[in-house]
């Protein structure tokens, strides 16, 4: 995996992020389902990494999956995220990281049958994102 373009010490990240943001973005925690600020939003715009500001997803790729977290079928740019195997919790998943700062965003799932062009669901923690409304 390439080195992150933005590298901060844990202390620097802690001063930049609140405790909940730090837990998700830097320690791979997960926010509770149906509690995130972007789970049901329909606002047009760009979803950026809350840790570093890099563009990750666009509202045009967001869809209603009713899973409890914001869902996207594709990143804004194929190089915006890094995917890596995650064998934690006794199961095989694919973790999604910000390519710029390597912050944990969520997981991606395939073959679930959603009517999307990619048959993928990027299940992303709201707290890992910041919506920049179009306009």
Catalytic residue among 49, 52, 98, 123: 123
Q: What three-state secondary structure class fits 58? A: strand
The residues facing 112 across adjacent strands are none
Structure letter (DSSP) for residue 2: P
Per the annotation, the verdict on 123 as an active-site residue is yes
In the chain the beta strands, taken as DSSP E runs, fall at 45-49, 55-58, 62-63, 71-72, 81-86, 93-98, 104-110, 120-124, 129-133
Query: What residues are labeled active site?
Result: 123
């Amino acid at each position: 995996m390439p080195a992150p373009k933005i590298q901060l010490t844990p202390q620097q990240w802690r001063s930049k992020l609140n405790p909940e943001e730090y837990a998700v973005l830097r320690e791979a925690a997960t926010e509770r389902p149906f509690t995130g600020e972007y789970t049901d939003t329909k606002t047009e715009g760009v979803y950026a990494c809350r840790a570093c500001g890099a563009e990750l997803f666009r509202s045009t790729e967001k869809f209603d999956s009713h899973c409890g977290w914001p869902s996207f079928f594709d990143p804004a740019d194929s190089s915006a995220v890094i995917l890596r195997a995650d064998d934690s919790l006794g199961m095989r998943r694919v973790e999604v990281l910000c390519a710029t700062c390597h912050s944990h965003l969520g997981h991606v799932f395939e073959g679930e049958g959603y009517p999307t062009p990619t048959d993928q669901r990027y299940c992303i923690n709201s707290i890992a994102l910041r919506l920049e409304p179009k306009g």
